[in-house]
Amino acid sequence: MLEFEAVYRKPGNTLFRHLLGTDPFDWWAGRYYVGLWGVVSMLFTLIGVAVLFTAVGQYGDWDLWRANVHAPLREYGLGFSPFLDGGAWEVVVICATGAFVSWLLREVDICRKLEMGYHVPLMFGFAISAWVTLQIIRPLWMGCWCEGFDLSFTGHLTWVSNTGFRYQNFYLNPFHALGVTGFFLTAMVLAMHGSAILGTYNTSKNPVQEEANVDNFWRDYIGYSIGEYGIHWLGFWLAIFTLVVSDLCILTSGTIFYDWVEFWQFQHLPAFWLH
Amino acid sequence: MATVINRPIAMPPVQHPDPSPMDDADLLGVRIGEPFRVPFLKRFGVDTQLGTLWLGTWGVLSVMLFLAGVGVQILGGLTLVNGDLGAYAHYLFNIQLLPPDGLGPAKSLAEGGFWQINTALFAGSVLCWAGRCYERLMRYHWRPYLFFAYLSAILLSATIWVFRPLLMGTWAEAPAMGLNGDLDWAQNFSVLWGNLYYNPWHMLAIFFLFGSTMLWGMHGATILATSAEGSHHEVAEIKDMHSGSHKSMLFWRWVMGFNANPKTIHDWIWWFSVGVVVSSAIGIITTGTFVNDWYVWGVDHGIVAQYGDMTRDAVNQRPVPLDITVNMSMPRP
């Protein structure tokens, strides 16, 4: 335990105790908080991993990079597939989604215990939305579980590559462009924030003076200092923006738009001002 | 053990920096504009003051070189459309100034001359901005983390625009200057060298890039969730921790069995964001110079399954795929 931890380790205030009056798993295992949702999440994880390894064993390639549980074959559409033709993939996706959502609810429990805001589980929800969009919503929309990506290291790389070329040139997908912009922007703002704190902590001045000094630097450098609260607000919303446009990027490909080169053909129409 | 729930409100921040000999030594050393308040911004919790901006010799040089580059870009673009402003506006996204063949000076402005001038101006502008960064950091007595983060970003640009073309022996390996130029370059680059997804440095760069977004999500959310107890005053929290930081640390310890602290989380985020550009630069410099087909490299090193029959490439004694058939038919409703 950390030296200040005992004060914060109190039973109660979890979702289930609130709803049902009791929570049988309201305790810690070592440094981990367990909680009812922790147990549910672990059950999903164990089933999912067991199915995953069973399928990998049947396929026969145990190499860390190549071991692959592939998405269902096209002929099974949205139905159940035989175990080795995609049934294993379906079970693993269900278990993973269940594990992610119960992990989120476990985070909610921990937030309630520590009496802090629900920002982290909210953010995790946006991260889960990427998984759900890729593996569930878009396959449902396109009418085939085969649209999901294979569960393996190089398998999902191959899926990304093939999906990009299938719609001709993914760089011309405007949501992809916004997503890449968001990813690089978060990296840049992250570097700026990390540099500001690492550059100025524990200098001899008093911290309040140092905080004002950080403001003065950014005002000199780029004309604006967003402030110590503001920088975290910016990072939070940049990450959410990035995840949302990434969801839109893949959700619109193959469902609404089939060719991102063709998408821009309107610009080759004669402009009205040239006539 | 002291737990302070409500952090005492600190003294209001000073508005203007203390005088410094570094400010007086600069010929163009003035702060332009007056602090301008936008109260609406308070709604989001971000600082309401816009300005002032330090001019400074480095900054003025950087902006002048940048504006000159924009001028050359527009001038070069206009020559491509025979000076037709309407056509320029129409084809704005696709107008590109192409790099010349070979490493010598371009034969003419149209055949790479504009590109060479623009590259030189861009490099000058970026390096002058690095000078401005370092000079201002020293003025405020920061450790130069920001300078080195910016240098690593410059390293990636320089690798793409200068170092790799030098190694490959032609400026034509660099991206064209234009709004779609970098997109086209990225697409062609990946296809030409056998699918960049199997480049391990590209994998690592994406790991850092997505990791940076994830870390901003985690760190931003954690601080916003505990900011009622002052956890966003990070410089102060590193010196003297209060309940907001306690909760931030315990949250992650209880969730995943590991936690950073107000100082080390910034080590994580600094190295993740620098890792993006450094591993990208390595991935770029090795492509086409040491490895000419990343898919074949992946098959060779056992990280990717071999799709279809392969034979040996006569020159490099590497396996290459036979009978590549790309099915471009797409399901349409």
Q: Is residue B83 part of a domain?
A: yes
Total domains in chain B come to: 2
**Distance to chain A for B192, nearest Cα, Å:** 14
In a domain, B74, yes or no: yes
Helix (H) / strand (E) element for A43: namely helix A35-59
* Same-domain check for residues B171 and B84: yes
Query: C-alpha distances in angstroms, B295 versus A157, A268, B194, B216, B326?
Result: 11, 35, 5, 32, 15
Confidence (pLDDT) at A83: 95
Per-residue pLDDT at B14: 55
**Which chain A residues are within 8 Å of B34, Cβ to Cβ?**
none
Return the number of CB contacts < 8 Å for A and B. 320
pLDDT at B326: 46
Q: pLDDT value at position B314?
A: 42
Q: Is residue B197 part of a domain?
A: no
DSSP string covering chain A, please?
--TTHHHH------HHHHHHS--TT-SEETTEE-HHHHHHHHHHHHHHHHHHHHHHHHH----TTT--BPPPPGGGTTS---GGGTHHHHHHHHHHHHHHHHHHHHHHHHHHHHT--SHHHHHHHHHHHHHHIIIIIHHHHHT-GGGSPPBSHHHHHHHHHHHHHHTS-GGG-HHHHHHHHHHHHHHHHHHHHHHHHHHHTT-SS-HHHHHHHHHHHHHHHHSB---HHHHHHHHHHHHHHHHHHHHHHHHSBTTTBS-TTGGGGGGGSPPGGG-
Per-residue pLDDT at B299? 84
pLDDT given for residue A27 in this prediction: 94
Interface check for B303 against chain A (CB to CB < 8 A): the answer is: yes
* Residues B144 and B180 occupy one common structural domain: yes
Residues B138 and B61 reside in one and the same domain: yes
Model pTM?
0.92
- Position B15 scores a pLDDT of 60
**Residue bearing the bigger pLDDT, B52 or B150:** B150
Window 81-120 of B: residues touching A by CB (8 A cutoff) are 86-87, 89-91, 93-94
As for the ipTM of the complex, it is 0.95
* Nearest-CB residue to B142 (from A7, A161, A217): A217
pLDDT confidence tier of residue B320, bands split at 50, 70 and 90: low
Q: Say what the pLDDT of residue A101 is.
A: 98
Residue B266 lies in a domain: yes
Statement to judge: residues B179 and B92 lie in one domain: yes
Q: Do B251 and A191 touch (CB under 8 A)?
A: no
Q: Mean pLDDT throughout B199-223?
A: 97
Residue ranges in chain A whose pLDDT is less than 50: none
Q: pLDDT over 90 for what percent of chain B?
A: 72
Q: pLDDT exceeding 70 applies to what percent of chain B? A: 87
For chain B, the average pLDDT equals 88
Contact A171 B187 (CB under 8 A): yes
Which residue segment(s) compose the domain that B85 sits in? 56-190
Condensed to tens digits (0 to 9), the pLDDT of residues B147-168 reads 999 999 999 999 999 999 999 9
CB contact under 8 A, A233 and B46: yes
**Domain boundary, last residue among B190, B222, B257:** B190
pLDDT tens-digit readout, B30-45 = 999 888 899 999 999 9
Q: Is residue B217 part of a domain?
A: yes
SS3 B36: strand
- Domains along the sequence of chain A with CATH: 1-166 (1.20.85.10), 168-263 (1.20.85.10)
Residue B199 to residue B285: CA distance in whole angstroms: 11
Does residue B325 register a pLDDT over 90?
no
Of the candidates A32, A127, A172, the beta carbon closest to that of B254 is on: A32
- Do A118 and B246 count as a contact with CB atoms less than 8 A apart? no
- In this model, does residue B6 exceed pLDDT 70? no
> Quick check: B195 contacting A, CB < 8 Å?
yes
pLDDT of residue B331: 46
Phi, psi of A265 (to 5 degrees): -65, -25
Q: Is residue B66 part of a domain?
A: yes
Same-domain check for residues B164 and B236: no
Model confidence band, residue B223 (pLDDT cutoffs 50, 70, 90):
very high
**Mean pLDDT, range B288-301, rounded to an integer:** 89
In-domain check, residue B3: no
Predicted confidence band at B310 (pLDDT cuts at 50, 70, 90)? low
Question: Does any domain span residue B16?
Answer: no
Choose between B318 and B258: higher pLDDT: B258
Q: How confident is the model at residue B100 (pLDDT cuts 50, 70, 90)?
A: very high
Q: What is the band of B191 on the pLDDT scale with cuts at 50, 70, 90?
A: confident
Q: Which of A8, A171, A222 has its CB closest to that of B183?
A: A171
Q: Any idea what the CATH number is for the domain that residue B262 is in?
A: 1.20.85.10
